[in-house]
Amino acid sequence: MNKFTAPEHWHADLFNQAPFEHLEELFALSHHSDWPSFTWLNEQKDSTQSRDIVFTPNSELESETLYYEEIIAHTHRIPTRENNWHDFFGALIWCLFPQTKSLLNRLHMQEIAEHGLKQRSKKRNALTLFDECGVVLAIPDLSWQSALRAHQWQEIFYEYGAMWHHNLLPFTFGHANYEMLTKPFIGLTGKVVCVEVDEAFYHLPLQLQYRHLDQKLVNMIEHQGLLDNNQQMSPLPLLGIPQWYQGQQDLAFYSDTDYFRPKRQPIKKKDTQ
């Protein structure tokens, strides 16, 4: 597989595609003819939810000797590369999940204080994986989580396809997911975390749904050990989500076990007696 390369230039028409529907509804990105300015980006922050963070061009931080997470923790500035999809989407995730992003930064700093910069703990690896590739799936009951962990892809995506975007609501957290969805490819996979929600959640405006999930994630990470390691995240083939693939999502598509991989069975130990 060739190394992924995001589009070089701004493409406003991207935001008319299904995976970017939330960003379009909340930020009207298709109305921009070029990369949004840092002034615009900083105006998108929810002041009631976010601490005093500032998205700052990398060019202004060239002399900074602190590590990325340390810059955020000590200066509240978010190093952001200009005209860069990865960092642009990262900034939008800060706007949508400010409490969770702040918590991840704080936990990174705790892990760095304990283990140093060079040694990455299981927890820090999990924090990074979720930050880059996480998908939050709002579900009506936890049986869906069990089905996802069992890789019951045909059942989840095909047989119950009509439930997606109604009862099964995907919210992209990982900014690397968004970046790769600019040029989607078979094999593109995120890491899903399921959040059980009640009926009232489905009737909330989208902005309030994000706020609710932001609060739930903070509780799950702080008090339920969600990101203590990678064990509570499971793979989610992103192009399996109904409407997220521009090709035909028929039974043959979901039968491709190179992409929709079956659950790996544990290796049985040989009887030595």
Query: In terms of DSSP bridges, do strands 234-237 and 189-196 run parallel, antiparallel, or are they unpaired?
Result: antiparallel
Which has more pLDDT, 266 or 255?
255
Return phi, psi of residue 15, to 5°. Answer: -80, 5
Question: What predicted TM-score, i.e. pTM, was given to this entire model?
Answer: 0.94
Tell me the average pLDDT across 36-58: 86
| Dist CA 58 CA 7 (whole Å) | 20
For residue 4, the model assigns a pLDDT of 86
Out of 8-22, 35-49, 169-183, least confident range: 35-49
Q: Which residues pair with 169 in a beta bridge?
A: 138
| Dist CA 39 CA 58 (whole Å) | 15
Which has more pLDDT, 270 or 142?
142
Q: What is the pLDDT of residues 105-137, one digit of tens each?
A: 999 999 999 988 777 899 999 999 999 999 999
For residue 71, the model assigns a pLDDT of 95
Q: What is the pLDDT of residues 7-38, one digit of tens each?
A: 999 999 999 999 999 999 999 999 999 999 99
Q: What's the Cα-to-Cα distance from 96 to each of 86, 173, 214, rounded to whole Å?
A: 16, 9, 8
For residue 63, the model assigns a pLDDT of 87
218 contact partners, CB below 8 Å, separation of at least 6: 99, 100, 103
| Dist CA 267 CA 269 (whole Å) | 6
Confidence label for 1 from pLDDT (cuts 50, 70 and 90): very low
CB 77 within 8 A of CB 71: yes
pLDDT above 70: residue 196 = yes
Name the 3-class secondary structure at 239.
helix
For residue 249, the model assigns a pLDDT of 98
Which residue do the tokens 């069990």 mark? Answer: 146
For residue 47, the model assigns a pLDDT of 62
Q: E strand or H helix at 111, and its extent? A: helix 98-115
